Chains A and B, each alone.
Chain A
């Protein structure tokens, strides 16, 4: 290993010597560049603040089940986006004293871009956020870091407040909506019920009872009508001579004839008391009695023979008259009954329609009630949620939801951080040698020419007779020495420039 390193160093120095001009110019270039950079490189001061976002505060277990506590999910991302936002940066710039009201927008924009690149947000774990700000002025770095940490705390509370507030508002709005819906539904039920007063909750039963009653009445009337009608038919038949009515008339006539005989006999007896049988009146009365008896005999005979002698006789008979009056009465009764039946039928129909209506109303009311019930349950739920949301909101308003606090406040940096003057000087010293030698080494590698005796002896397997070099004359030796001296002088002068810079810096 050492042999390889030694060989590489040997090659590098040999090549460097061969390319003195390149090496020297690169050396001067790199030295000068770093000397210049070190001189003009800004001193950067960094101030940082650490924020702990703790969502496991005491409120959470206490409020378990009552109201959800808000949590800042991923505060690191929040911090990053917040610190890149224009509003935050503008505030920071104002607080840090970069800008005032008169600063032109263009300058503000460029300052914002610069501030963005100067800000560094990092995190330890999930809940610890570090905010760093670097600037050439320690005071401004401090002010900016301080402002940023404070803005973060403030904004994270505000965000949570806004979030819970908007959640509360939303739920509240929803609850109001449901309340209105509920009211509308209830009102609809009420109005409907008003429109259908007879459709009160027992109306259906009453209507059904009534229908039964009416049906029964109609049935009764029907029976009555039937009775009356059969009676009427019978009377009509009787009137037409059927059913024994003629005999009754003959009997009635016989009776009348017998009554006349009786009267004639009374008259005869009276006359006999005074007169002899030959008296004319007595003889006439006897004659009358005789003819009347004949008449009776005829009546009986005709009756017994069954001969219907004459209708007219019946038509004019008192029976017929009675029958006729009966028929009249019956007819009157029937028409009365029929009209009553008609009335009852109408009533029944009405009742039936009523029942139908009541059923339709019931269906409608069920529908309306169901809607109302759903709205009611939703409303009740929302009211509960609204109360939870209200508590959450109140908690956030009281800054109890999350616990964001500044663990380590921003401080005024005492010494500059990052790439400093001394670093640049050291890097300059190292690179001023490193760059030219690396370039030379790189060129040598790219060149691919034989520089290693082992290439010949090992790779090519050729015998090496000797390794010689040019004999140097004393002038050449002197010249080489002068060159080496010159190189040393260049290195020394570069170092003295660095030294002078350091001295100037130390002097302030």
Chain B
């Protein structure tokens, strides 16, 4: 995060809610019911009590990291990427999302207007933009049953996923959160048993799961990669558990009407904006 951006965000937050950073500095003491997502302390903290969020984030396990080449190979952005224009676009996106957000962390649904378009990579890039900031972590949840691209991007062969967790009572949540080769980015795959996913997503357990995931870290930003809103019932159901929706409009694939329809089905409240792809 650039210095200017930090200053801007800080100023925004300060003007809105007073000194939030002060509160966030010590996450263990945060117990404010008025905060929508951060209601209680995370019970399953992987580390011993950190003093600040930043500390706890800094202590996050990171077995390996993608090199710059690997990133570009996979189509991922990286901090020292040559394409600073693209980097700035993502940074701007992050700034805008953060600026509009009233809570520390929020769940963002990333969906596309076109059924033929797989939004996995863009979602990964958005998530990694957030995790570029050392003070923030991001979580990528894949709910697109038809795409395994996320597994390839994160080089993970998952044993369990979101659907497995919802179905099973015994499975601990840690088992479905995977460490990725991108710093401060965690990944929840869809799972092995992902048929009838829509039914699970509408389950109460799904909502609980999401709430618990959100609670894990206050500075964790969750990005749900969903199938195209035009074709998938899952996505419409998932709208309920998300705070923001980013609609990806790929170049030359969507018509004006389909965009209008998608935006209408998302609804004014949660619609964050359009992300143009390859324009």
Instruction: Using CB atoms and an 8 Å cutoff, list the residues of chain A in contact with chain B.
Output: 14-15, 18, 444, 447-451, 453, 455-456, 459-460, 462-475
- Asked if A451 and B96 make an inter-chain contact with CB atoms under 8 angstroms apart, the answer reads no
Whether B75 is near chain A, meaning CB under 8 Å from some CB there, is yes
A15-B252, A469-B86, A470-B121 as given contacts; A462 in contact with B75, CB under 8 Å? no
Most A-side CB within 10 Å, residue of B92, B246, B276: B276
- Asked if A450 and B89 make an inter-chain contact with CB atoms under 8 angstroms apart, the answer reads no
- Asked if B273 and A463 make an inter-chain contact with CB atoms under 8 angstroms apart, the answer reads yes
Q: How far is the CA of A465 from the CA of B94 in the complex (A)?
A: 9
Whether B76 is near chain A, meaning CB under 8 Å from some CB there, is yes
Cβ of B125: which chain A residues have Cβ within 8 Å of it?
A: 468, 471
Can you name the residue of chain B whose Cβ is closest to the Cβ of A456?
A: B274
Q: How far is the CA of A466 from the CA of B97 in the complex (A)?
A: 11
Whether B20 is near chain A, meaning CB under 8 Å from some CB there, is no
- Asked if A466 and B89 make an inter-chain contact with CB atoms under 8 angstroms apart, the answer reads yes
A473-B73, A474-B69, A475-B73 as given contacts; A465 in contact with B272, CB under 8 Å? yes
Q: Which of B143-151, B162-170, B187-195, B256-264 contacts A (4 or more CB under 8 A)?
A: B256-264
Instruction: Using CB atoms and an 8 Å cutoff, list the residues of chain B in contact with chain A.
Output: 69, 71-77, 81, 83, 86, 89-90, 92-93, 96-97, 121-122, 125, 246, 249, 251-256, 259-260, 263, 272-279
- Asked if A462 and B254 make an inter-chain contact with CB atoms under 8 angstroms apart, the answer reads no
A463-B273, A465-B275 as given contacts; A450 in contact with B255, CB under 8 Å? yes
- Asked if B73 and A456 make an inter-chain contact with CB atoms under 8 angstroms apart, the answer reads no
Q: How far is the CA of A450 from the CA of B276 in the complex (A)?
A: 10
Of B251, B254, B255, B275, the contact of A466 (CB 8 Å cutoff): B275
Cβ of A448: which chain B residues have Cβ within 8 Å of it?
A: 255
Cβ of A469: which chain B residues have Cβ within 8 Å of it?
A: 86, 277-279
Q: How far is the CA of A449 from the CA of B114 in the complex (A)?
A: 11
A446 smallest CB distance to B (angstroms):
12
B205 smallest CB distance to A (angstroms):
31
A298 smallest CB distance to B (angstroms):
183
- Asked if A470 and B75 make an inter-chain contact with CB atoms under 8 angstroms apart, the answer reads yes
- Asked if A464 and B274 make an inter-chain contact with CB atoms under 8 angstroms apart, the answer reads yes
Question: Across the A-B interface, how many residue pairs have beta carbons closer than 8 Å?
Answer: 101
Of A14, A468, A474, the contact of B276 (CB 8 Å cutoff): A468
Can you name the residue of chain B whose Cβ is closest to the Cβ of A468?
A: B89
Knowing that A450-B255, A462-B263, A462-B274 touch, tell me 8 more A-B residue pairs with CB under 8 angstroms. Answer: A456-B276, A460-B260, A465-B93, A466-B89, A471-B71, A471-B81, A471-B86, A473-B69
Q: How far is the CA of A473 from the CA of B263 in the complex (A)?
A: 33
Can you name the residue of chain B whose Cβ is closest to the Cβ of A463?
A: B273
- Asked if A460 and B96 make an inter-chain contact with CB atoms under 8 angstroms apart, the answer reads no
A468-B125, A475-B73 as given contacts; A455 in contact with B279, CB under 8 Å? no
Most A-side CB within 10 Å, residue of B81, B122, B249, B260: B249
A451-B279, A453-B279 as given contacts; A466 in contact with B256, CB under 8 Å? no
A315 smallest CB distance to B (angstroms):
167
- Asked if B89 and A467 make an inter-chain contact with CB atoms under 8 angstroms apart, the answer reads yes
Cβ of A464: which chain B residues have Cβ within 8 Å of it?
A: 273-276
Q: How far is the CA of A474 from the CA of B246 in the complex (A)?
A: 29
- Asked if B72 and A473 make an inter-chain contact with CB atoms under 8 angstroms apart, the answer reads yes
Q: How far is the CA of A450 from the CA of B263 in the complex (A)?
A: 15
- Asked if A451 and B252 make an inter-chain contact with CB atoms under 8 angstroms apart, the answer reads yes
Q: How far is the CA of A457 from the CA of B210 in the complex (A)?
A: 33
Query: What are 12 pairs between A and B in contact, CB < 8 Å?
Result: A450-B254, A451-B279, A453-B276, A459-B256, A465-B92, A465-B273, A466-B90, A467-B276, A470-B75, A473-B73, A473-B75, A474-B73
Cβ of A459: which chain B residues have Cβ within 8 Å of it?
A: 256
Can you name the residue of chain B whose Cβ is closest to the Cβ of A452?
A: B279
A463 smallest CB distance to B (angstroms):
4
